[in-house]
Structure 1
Amino acid sequence: MKSTKKIIEIFIFFVIFLIAIFNSYKLSIHENQINRQKQIIDSLKQTIVEFETNSFVSSSKYVLFRNQNFETYKCDVKKVDLKFYYKDTTDRKIKSIDTLKHLVSINNKVLIFATNAGMYNPNNEPQGLYVENKKIIKPLDLNEGKGNFYMKPNGVFYITENNTAGITESSDYLQQNSKNIKYATQSGPLLLINGDMHPKFNEGSKNKHIRSGVGLVNAHQVVFIISNEKVNFFDFALLFKKFGCKNALYLDGGISKMYLPDLNRFEKGGNFGVIIGVTTQKE
């Protein structure tokens, strides 16, 4: 009797042992399936990211940020025809978006984006550095002074001959390979410096104006932003951070305009120095 009971106990233990092994095996298979599914999903996500990165050309968006309205134009400088414009072929200053729109149309092109570049003097000459087609039109200004332009650190937005973009402190610009720079405009202040906000910006500041600027998303992608209402520097810089920018430059204030037909924004006036424009061929 005792022997039979012992055999039954051993049998039950053996069955429980087999069930445990079977469940462990099933769990292992299930975990492997889950891990494999995760790998597939991660692979698909990476493919989607790579596809979006490789296919992105430009986008125009309305943005509501901190209860303030902005309009934005983001583009890949390797894939769009982005140029800086100052004078026409007769050496006359272009000054306005109207004039630029007419000039590009003569060359069978359509203006799809335009905004004023860095600051300028009363005679419509660029204030500080201006480079066009690798030629230095105005030298770098490292002087001290009053106003936003001289709120140090100020900076330079540039495009290389290889169509990569950069934003750097004015004092660091000379370290760049200037022979490789196709376009450059100097302005100030820098909004973001290597991910940090300009040290003189204060949250809640009452110093509010219409503002425009440019931010560097990566070496190929830049975003231009203009406010539709008066904003302070802190909020404006923070918006560029939300776009993933580590470096951003203030372009100008209340005189700023943006031509952006995709958003039904057809500002054509202005009395500027340099204008940044993107064109496409007429169909």
Structure 2
Amino acid sequence: MISPPPKPMRTRRLAGLLAALLVLPAAARAECGHVAHEGRGYVVCETDPARVELRLFRLDTTGAVLGSFARVDLMLAGEGKTLAFAMNAGMYHADRSPVGLYIEGGEQQAPAVASAGPGNFGLLPNGILCLADGVARVIETRAYLAEPPACRYATQSGPMLVIDGALHPRFLPDSDSRFVRNGVGVTADGRALFAISDRPVTFHEFGRLFRDVLETPNALYLDGKISRLYAPELGRSDIGLPMGPIVGALVDAPGDAPR
């Protein structure tokens, strides 16, 4: 049986998170900050999709794989936009093509995979991050397929970290499988919260961050080992091998400085 989340300390932990994140005007809120939980450190990036655009990126205008935060930012410069923050957004094959469902700009590039399989992706239930106009949702894959919403952008990954307020039933409290991990959850009031661990953590530890601190009813694991973050306000732009899907929060690029 899946046990409900514990109640003690949730308010205090959430207050600590909000204190760690700088409070910006609502219209410009796309903020990253350091959060500690159970002696482990994380970077959490928060935004309101109703006010700040969230978008997925994989291919440039020529059909070539972008693969890096720098190339995404360079492409966005042509729109007068820049990345407030970004991270890798789902699992991919050696050619950087998505493992599961992927929608970019309203065009489906890969179908959803609902069957169990090897690896983290196949550890059901897995899920989908769906981005529509002003709305972000994390949806369990079978629920998505039963009633597909209109997603302008979507990426599938797995496993789910939190499902209707409970941790994934396969997570083990005493697991020794530890990796740097990143994921995404959406709060009851619609805020999107992206997190990446500072050091290797278990699924159970990472899921508890989303359940007990970030208080996201549903949260999705994006990846481990290759997890990377772009957060210029923190002076962070992780590098490595080319990535597949990337998710980013967009803001207007700064104009020329006054003379």
Aligned counterpart in structure 1 of residue 173 of structure 2, from 203, 220, 243:
203
Moved over 4 A (4+): none
In structure 1, stretches of 5+ residues that fail to align are: 1-51
Q: Do the aligned partners of residues 270 and 163 (structure 1) sit closer, same or farther apart at CA in structure 2, a change above 3 Å counting?
A: farther
* Distance (Å, rounded) in 1 between the aligned partners of 2:134 and 2:81: 20
Q: Does 1:218 align with 2:218?
A: no
The aligned counterpart of 2:207 is: 237
* Distance (Å, rounded) in 2 between the aligned partners of 1:201 and 1:156: 19
Give the AA of the match of 1:55: A
* Distance (Å, rounded) in 2 between the aligned partners of 1:173 and 1:53: 33
User: Rg larger in 1 or in 2?
Assistant: 1
Contact residue 97 and residue 269 of structure 1 kept, 8 A = no
Contact residue 32 and residue 43 of structure 2 kept, 8 A = yes
Give the AA of the match of 2:69: I
The aligned counterpart of 1:136 is: 108
The aligned counterpart of 2:232 is: 261
The aligned counterpart of 2:97 is: 125
Contact residue 162 and residue 217 of structure 2 kept, 8 A = yes
* Distance (Å, rounded) in 2 between the aligned partners of 1:109 and 1:164: 20
Q: Deviations over 1:90-140 (max 9, x none)?
A: 111111112112211233222221111111011100111001122211001
Q: Does 1:252 align with 2:223?
A: yes
SS of 1:110 mapped into structure 2: strand
In structure 2, stretches of 5+ residues that fail to align are: 1-22
Q: Do the aligned partners of residues 173 and 53 (structure 1) sit closer, same or farther apart at CA in structure 2, a change above 3 Å counting?
A: farther
Equivalent runs, 1:75-154 vs 2, <5 Å: 75-154=47-126
Q: Do the aligned partners of residues 55 and 107 (structure 1) sit closer, same or farther apart at CA in structure 2, a change above 3 Å counting?
A: closer
* TM value normalised by structure 1: 0.77
Contact residue 157 and residue 185 of structure 1 kept, 8 A = yes
The aligned counterpart of 2:26 is: 55
Q: Which has the higher helix share?
A: 1
* Distance (Å, rounded) in 1 between the aligned partners of 2:245 and 2:152: 14
Structure 1 residue 53: deviation in Å? 11
Q: Deviations over 1:224-281 (max 9, x none)?
A: 0001100001110010111111100000001010000122212244411111112222
SS of 1:149 mapped into structure 2: coil
The aligned counterpart of 2:12 is: none
* Distance (Å, rounded) in 1 between the aligned partners of 2:81 and 2:104: 20
Contact residue 30 and residue 249 of structure 2 kept, 8 A = no
- RMSD over aligned CA atoms reads 1.8
* Distance (Å, rounded) in 2 between the aligned partners of 1:177 and 1:187: 16
* Number of residue pairs the alignment of both structures matches: 230
Q: Percent identity?
A: 33
Q: Does 1:278 align with 2:249?
A: yes
Contact residue 47 and residue 191 of structure 2 kept, 8 A = yes
* Distance (Å, rounded) in 2 between the aligned partners of 1:100 and 1:127: 21
